Structure formats: structure tokens, C-alpha cells
Amino acid sequence: MAYPSPPSPLRRGWSLWTLALRRARAAAGRVVAIWRRSIQFRVVSTTLVLSAAVMVLLGIVVVGQVQGGLLDAKVSSATAQAQGGFQVARQQASALAAEAGRQPAPTGTGSAPDTGGFDVKDWLTGLVDQLSSGGKGQYDVAVLSPDATANTQDTRWGPRSSGNVLADLSVPRDLRTEVGRHSGAAYQFTRIVRESTEPGGGRTSTKGVVVGAQLSDPQGNHYQLYYFFPFTPEEKTLGLVRGTLATAGVFLVLLLVAIAALVTRQVVTPVRMAARIAERLAAGRLEERMRPNGEDDLARLGSSFNKMASTLQNKIRQLEDLSRMQRRFVSDVSHELRTPLTTVRMAADVLHEARGNFDPAVSRSAELLQTQLDRFEALLSDLLEISRFDAGAAVLESDALDLRDLVGRVVDAAEPLAERRGSRIVVADPGRPCVAEVDPRRIDRVLRNLVVNAVEHGEGRDVVVTVGVNDDAVAVTVRDYGVGLKPGESSLVFNRFWRADPARARTTGGTGLGLSIALEDTHLHGGWLQAWGEPGGGSQFRLTLPRAHGGELVRSPLPLEPPDSRANRGLHLAGTPYRRAGGPPGTQGTGTPPAGPPASNGGSARPGDVPRGLPGGGAPATYKTYPTKEGGGR
């Protein structure tokens, strides 16, 4: 990408040019795209180009032949006409010469022949007039004195010509010398130059053939007689042929193109229909079908397409049924397990109460049984919650409340755990109300999950909870300074039963479903739940919620990447730009440094991990993931 040039008048022309170039390129791109996408366009344009090429070729050949024929005919008729004229001129000259011979020197004393009352110039003018009068508009006649080299002063006179032909310029030098050298006639193609009769003057020139011969005037002096035949009628005929051919060619090409378009249209239309139907099928509208017309190949294509579509539809329906069955199975299993679990629980409670009476090994087993039962119960309730989400049965009961209160309650509840871990929970308050329409139970659950996770993975360091608000949204970030997340993990943390290290057994508490449920809760609100982390630098989770129920989120009031991240402090990969989280959660790369993380110094944040040494709450809480004063949100 070129950097935008600074606006300068000198560059404006250039930028206009580049704009035009870009437009042209865009148009060419569109054409290429149509070429690639449309068979019809391809066939029609190929037909157009090929048939036009053939027509042009044909036109060139035909016009060439006609032109040759016309030229031959013109030359033969011109030479015949000119020969006749030369004959007339010879006869006149000899008759006059004979007459002059019979009456020698009428004035008696004249030594020069032209003093005898006979004027060669007038005779030549008259000759030109006479010879040209037969072919006004078809040919012109001129006489020239012989070549200047053979010219004596006595026989010098100006050229005479009809039709305003400038004979000096129209007769080529070569022809003049050739005509002067031998007695026969000669011809040459040339441009006939005429003086224009228009008031403006000037010269016009037409192509033509000039035929000439050197003859003798009655006094025996040489002169050259030329006939000029313009090609005007031939050019007119040729133009007519050319025009006719061009018209016929255009019509023929149009006909071919129309035929090609018609044929391909007949073929392509069903194919296009099939493509359209296939697109709809792909979009999930499985009931779409083609309408086969007739019994030809294309109709067969349509019917087999329809068959394929029905088969696909059946398969997909089967799979859907299967998946629904499985979900119900999970939900049913969870429900069915609760009743025996209650019994087991009661028995285990009895055992646990009486553990003081057992020998240490048995007592230890009883304790173990108690904790594992707690976990099992929590897992079961999480599975139920998840299956409720999967079934689409989760209902939002929203209420306008200040998020700061909610945060305070959650933090208060987490204080004991933090103390046990040796960390403090710091709350950063924007100092103004952060009222939003939320379901308090669900948001409480989400926040508790985040805070407890942070404390669990905070490795004894502080946990910072920040509340932010803007016109459209409220946000809460929970920052810890634990092991953090490896690149790419920030999107995985929300997966069900996800573990940072699959090899490690799930020894710590937590069901592995907490963050999944939090994410589903957030989605239910139309909000975002996003994670950021860096290896060894801790992690931050951000919850963004629209202030009004159903509102559209555009941006979060708080950044996802904390300002004290390594990147932001310039410690690590300073060039990596900060990217604000914009899309739906879980799909975006966050501000995680993409490359060169330091060697893993232990486990990263594991969402859903339950802190060890969790005091067993007595109540059958749905969310035993979190140590809560209330002991569950229900």
C-alpha cells in the first residue's frame, strides 16, 4: 500500500490519473470477474471476437479483390480512352501540317513558322478543350511542353489543362522523362492536384492514373499530352462495397452472437438455477428443490439434484435428531443422578460427621468422599445449567441495578478466600453509578467466577477489579498477576472442560464448566466476555454489558488489555499495536503478544479451576465453584 501523498496542486493531475487508472482497473476487474463467473458471457464474447475476426479477414480479402478488378478495368479503359485522344491529336496535327504544306508561307516573308497567323498555343488550348469536352467530370486533359532539358526557348509555353488540374504537380517526374524518351504512351498512378475553385483557393488532390504520350504539333515541335483519370468513381464503388460488407458483417456477427447467446442461455439457465438452489441448500433451506422441465439432459440434472437434496435433508434431519437425543440424554442423566446422589450425600454426611470415631485411614477416606461428592454435585448442577442453555430454556430476569453494588458483594464474598491465598482484592470504582439492566443472579455468578478464578490463579498477588461505564455499556475487568495465558489460549478458556495442560489431571476443584456458563450468561445479556493474558504477566477478563436490555454494543468502556501489560509498558514487543476488542467474545485475538513468549513458567490461568482447600459449603449450591457467603445463587 502506498502512503497517501500529501495534497499538492502539482500532484493533483497525477492523482486524477491514478484515480482514472484505478477506475479502469476496477472495471477490468469486474469484466474479468464476469468472465470467470459467467459461461454465457464467455461463450458470447468468444463468438463475438472470433466471428468479428473472420468477418474482418473476409472483408479484407473481398475488398482487395474488388479493388484489383476495378483498378484493372480502370487502367484498360483509361489507356484506351487516352490512345483515342492521342490519335485524334496526331490526326489534327498532321492534317494542319499538310494544309500548311500546301500553302507554304502565306505571308511570304515569315521565316519563323509561327508568324504565319497560326498560333500553336491557341491550337493546344483548343486541343485540350476539345479532348476534355467529351469527358467532363470523368477525366481531364493537359498539355505540357517537353521536359525542360530538351526545351528550346522558341517552344516554351505554359501548361494547359482542363478541370483546373495543376499538370506540373500532377505528372510525376518519372513519367515525364519516360514519355519523352520513347514514342509510345505510358501511364502511372499519381495524385491529381487541382486548384480549388472555392473562393478560399487552395489545392485539392485526388488519387488517379495519368496516361501520357509525346506528340508533335503541326509545326513539328514536340509536346506532351496527358490524360488524368481520377479514381473517384472507383473509390465510390469501393466505398459502396466496403459499406455493404461492413453492414453485412455487422449483421452476421450480431446474428452469430445472438445465436450463441440463445444457445448458451438455454444451457446455462438450468445450471444457474441449480447453482441458486444449491446456494439456498447450503444456507440451510433444505426444502428448496429444482423444477425440472421436460425430459432432456438438463431435466435429468435437475431431478438427480433434487434426489441428492432430499437425501441430504434426510441425513441432516437424522443427525439433528441424534444430537437432540444426546442433549436430552445428558439432561436426563443429570436429573436421574440427583436422586441417588442425595441419598449418597446423606450417607456420606453421616460418615463425615462420625469420622472422629474412625481410625485415621477410614476417616481420611470419609473426608475424601465428602469433597468428591461436593465436586460431583457441583459438576452435576453445572451440567444441568449447561443443558438448560443448550435447550434454549434459560430465561433472563433483568432488573436495573448498579453494578458497583454487585461487584462489592462479590468481592466481599471472595475476601476470605483471598486472605487464605495471601492476596488482596482491589476495587477501582469510576465514582459514578454504573446502572444497567441485568439479571443479578447471572451477573453475580459471572463476576464471582471471574474473581474467584483470579484469586485462585493470582499466586498471592493482588487482584484488581475495575468497573467502567459509558453511554451505552458498563464493564468490569478482573486483573490478576499470575502465570497468565499463552498466546491463543485466551479464546480457549471458555471451552467446556478445557485444560491448559491436557496431560494434567483435573485435580483441583472446579467443574471445567464455569467460564462456559459465564459466557452463556453474558450472551444471554447480549454482552461480551473476553479474556486477555500474557505468559508470566497475568491475565485480565473483561465483562461488557449493554446498559439497556437489548442494546447494541459498540465499544467497551474499559480496554481489554490492561494498561500495565508488558506491551503497553514497552517491555515486550513494543511495536505490537493495541487492538481493541470489537467482535463477539471468544473469536478475537486479543492484545496477547503474538510471538516470543518467555518459556512457560508454570500453568496458565485455568478458567473454571476451583481453588484448592475449598471449604465445603453445606448448602446444596448450584455454584459451588465459588465460596460464597450466600452459598449459591439460587
For other proteins, the closer of residues 128 and 545 by Cβ is 128
Mapped to the 3 state alphabet, what secondary structure does 478-525 carry? EEECCCCCCCCHHHHCCCCCCCCCCCCCCCCECCCCHHHHHHHHHHHH
Q: Which of 135, 133, 103 is nearest to 117 (CA)?
A: 103
Stretch in the footprint of other proteins (CB under 8 A) among 123-131, 258-266, 377-385, 448-456:
123-131
Position 296 contacts other proteins (CB under 8 A): no
d(CA 603, CA 153): 123
Q: Smallest gap, in angstroms, from Cβ of residue 72 to other proteins?
A: 19
Residue 170 touches other proteins, criterion: CB under 8 A: no
Between 114 and 402, name the residue whose CB sits nearer to other proteins.
Answer: 114
Task: Report DSSP state, residue 218.
Answer: T
CB of 221 to other proteins, least distance (A): 14
Which one of 90-98, 118-126, 469-477, 536-544 is the stretch in contact with other proteins (CB under 8 A)? 118-126
Distance between CA atoms of residues 42 and 158, nearest Å:
68
Stretch that binds other proteins, among 82-90, 116-124, 547-555, 572-580 (CB under 8 A): 116-124
Residue of 69, 84, 106, 126 that binds other proteins (CB under 8 A)? 126
Q: Which is nearer to other proteins, 15 or 115 (CB)?
A: 115
* Rounded-to-5 percentages of helix, strand, coil across the chain: 50, 15, 35
Cβ partners under 8 Å of residue 499, min gap 6:
506, 512, 606
- Listed in sequence order, the residues at least 6 apart from 592 whose beta carbon sits closer than 8 Å to its beta carbon are 485, 487, 488, 490, 532, 533, 534
CB-nearer residue toward other proteins: 145 or 530: 145
Question: How far is the C-alpha of 523 from the C-alpha of 477, rounded, in Å?
Answer: 17
Taking CB under 8 A as the rule, does residue 176 contact other proteins?
no
CB 228, CB 104: distance < 8 Å: no
Residues 185-244 that bind other proteins (CB under 8 A): 195, 197, 199
Determine, following the binding rule CB under 8 A, whether residue 129 of this chain makes contact with other proteins.
Answer: yes
Shortest Cβ 170–other proteins spacing (Å): 11
Residue 107: its H or E element? none
CB crowding 199-237: b at 16 or more within 10 Å, else e = eeeeeeebebbbbbbbbebbbebbbbbbbbbbbeebbee
Q: Could you tell me the smallest distance in angstroms from the CB atom of residue 91 to other proteins?
A: 20
Closer of 292 and 562 to other proteins (Cβ): 292
Position 159 contacts other proteins (CB under 8 A): yes
Judged by CB under 8 A, which of 103, 111, 149, 153 binds other proteins?
153
Residue number with CB closer to other proteins (244 or 266)? 244
Alpha carbon separation from 204 to 48, 191, 196, 200, 207 (Å, rounded) = 40, 10, 6, 12, 10
CB-wise, 162 or 625, nearer to other proteins? 162
CA 182/CA 213 separation, integer angstroms: 9
Name which of 111 and 357 has its Cβ closer to other proteins. 111
> Considering only residues 85, 146, 163, 249, which one is a binding residue for other proteins as defined by CB under 8 A?
163
CB atoms within 10 A of CB 363: 16
**CB nearer to other proteins: pick between 164 and 326:** 164
Half-sphere exposure of 453 (CA within 13 A, CB side): 33
Identify the residue among 5, 77, 164, 365 touching other proteins (CB under 8 A). 164
334 scored as a contact of other proteins (CB under 8 A): no
Say how many residues touch other proteins, by CB under 8 A.
30
**Strand ranges inside 77-156, DSSP E:** 140-144
Q: Which stretch binds other proteins (CB under 8 A): 29-37, 119-127, 221-229, 567-575?
A: 119-127
Query: Taking CB under 8 A as the rule, does residue 330 contact other proteins?
Result: no
Q: Which of 119, 174, 405, 419: binder of other proteins (CB under 8 A)?
A: 119
Among 115, 204, 269, 365, binds other proteins (CB under 8 A): 115
Which stretch in 152-160, 410-418, 432-440, 569-577 sits in contact with other proteins by CB under 8 A?
Answer: 152-160
- 111 sits near other proteins (criterion: CB under 8 A): no
For 557, the 3-state DSSP assignment is coil
Closest CB to other proteins among 168 and 321? 168
DSSP string, 566-599: HHHHTSS-TTSPP----SSTTSS--S---S-PPP
| β-strand pairing of 425-428 with 463-469 | parallel
CA proximity to 81, closest of 237, 227, 234? 227
Task: Specify the stretch interacting with other proteins by CB under 8 A; choose among 153-161, 449-457, 471-479, 486-494.
Answer: 153-161
Report the residue from 13, 36, 122, 173 that binds other proteins according to the rule CB under 8 A. Answer: 122
Residue 46 or 115: the one with the smaller Cβ distance to other proteins is 115
User: Quick one: which segment of 12-20, 124-132, 530-538, 541-549 binds other proteins (CB under 8 A)?
Assistant: 124-132
CB 214 within 8 A of CB 82: no
Nearer to other proteins, 246 or 548 (CB): 246
**What is residue 181's three-state secondary structure?**
helix
- Which residues make up the interface to other proteins (CB under 8 A)? 114-115, 117, 119, 121-122, 125-126, 128-129, 132, 136-137, 153-154, 156-164, 166-168, 195, 197, 199
